[in-house]
Amino acid sequence: MSRRAPPGARTGAAGSGSTSSSALAAINTEDMCPVCKTIRYLNKDMEFLINPECYHSMCSNCVNRLFNDGPNQCPYAGCHRTLRRKGFRSAFFGDLAVEREVDIRRRVAAVFNQAEDDFETLRDYNNYLQMVEDLTFDLVSGTDAQRRAAEATLQQWEAEHKADIERNRKAGREADEQSRRRLAAEREAARLRRIEALREAEEEKRERARSREEELDSLAHGEAGAAGGAQRVQLKKRGQAVASRAVEAAVKTDVAAADVGRLSIRGLKEKKKAPPPEGPYDPFGGLDFVPSRYKLRPELTHPGIEKYKVDPAHITGGYNFDEYTARAMFEAFAGLGVFIEDEKEVGIGLSAGDVATMSAGIAAVGDNKMELA
Partner 1 sequence: MEFNIDDLPVLFPYPRIYPEQYAYMVDLKKTLDAGGNCVLEMPSGTGKTVTLLSLIVAYQQYYPSHRKLIYCSRTMSEIEKALVELQALMKFRAQRLGYEEEFRGLGLTSRKNLCLHPSVKREKSGNVVDARCRSLTAGFVKEKKEKGEDVDVCVYHDNLDLLEPHNLVPNGVWTLDGLLRYGEQHKQCPYFTARRMMQYCNVIIYSYHYLLDPKIAERVSKDLSKDCIVVFDEAHNIDNVCIESLSTDITEDSLRKATRGAQNLENRISEMRDSDQQKLQDEYEKLVQGLRGADDGRQEDSFMANPTLPDDLLKEAVPGNIRRAEHFVAFLRRFIEYLKTRMKVRQVISETPPSFLAHLKEHTFIEKKPLRFCAERLTSLARTLELTNIEDYQPLQEVATFATLVATYEKGFLLILEPYESDTAEVPNPVLHFTCLDAAIAIKPVFDRFSSVIITSGTISPLEMYPKMLDFLTVVQESYSMTLARRSFLPMIVTRGSDQASISTSFQIRNEPSVVRNYGSLLTEFAKITPDGMVVFFPSYLYMESIISMWQGMGILDEVWKYKLILVETPDAQETSLALETYRTACCNGRGAVLLCVARGKVSEGIDFDHQYGRTVLCIGVPFQYTESRILKARLEFLRETYRIRENDFLSFDAMRHAAQCLGRVLRGKDDYGLMVLADRRFQKKRVQLPKWINQALLDADVNLSTDMAVSAARRFLKTMAQPFRAKDQEGISTWSMADLKRHQQKLDEDRIKELQAHEARGSNMPPRGVGNGRDSDYEMDDDDEAELMALHHTS
Binding partner 1 by CB under 8 A: which of 126, 155, 156, 178? 126
The Cα–Cα gap between 150 and 138 comes to 6
Contact with partner 1 (CB under 8 A) among 266, 280, 307, 341: 266
**Residues touching partner 1, count (CB under 8 A):** 50
Are the CB atoms for 6 and 55 separated by under 8 Å?
yes
Selected binder of partner 1 within 81, 84, 162, 193 (CB under 8 A): 193
Which amino acid is it at 53? E
Could you tell me how many residues make up the chain? 373
Binding mask 195-234 vs partner 1 (x if CB under 8 A, - otherwise)? --x---x---------------------------------
d(CA 10, CA 279): 65
* Residue 127 found at the interface with partner 1 (CB under 8 A): yes
CB neighbourhood size of 251 (10 A) = 9
34 and 16 in contact (C-beta within 8 Å)? yes
* 34 vs 252: CA distance, rounded Å: 63
- Under the binding rule (CB under 8 A), the answer on residue 41 touching partner 1 is no
Q: Does position 256 bind partner 1 by CB under 8 A?
A: yes
264 or 316: CB nearest partner 1 = 264
Asked if 101 is part of the footprint of partner 1 (rule: CB under 8 A), the reply reads: yes
44 binds partner 1 (CB under 8 A): no
Q: Answer whether 102's CB lies under 8 Å from 91's CB.
A: no
Contact flag: residue 264 with partner 1 (CB under 8 A): yes
Q: What are the C-alpha distances in Å from 61 to residues 67, 90, 94, 95, 285?
A: 10, 13, 20, 22, 90
**Interacting residues toward partner 1 by CB under 8 A:** 1-3, 92-95, 98, 101-102, 105-106, 109, 122-123, 125-134, 137, 176, 179-180, 183, 190, 193-194, 197, 201, 256, 259-260, 262-264, 266-271, 273-274, 277
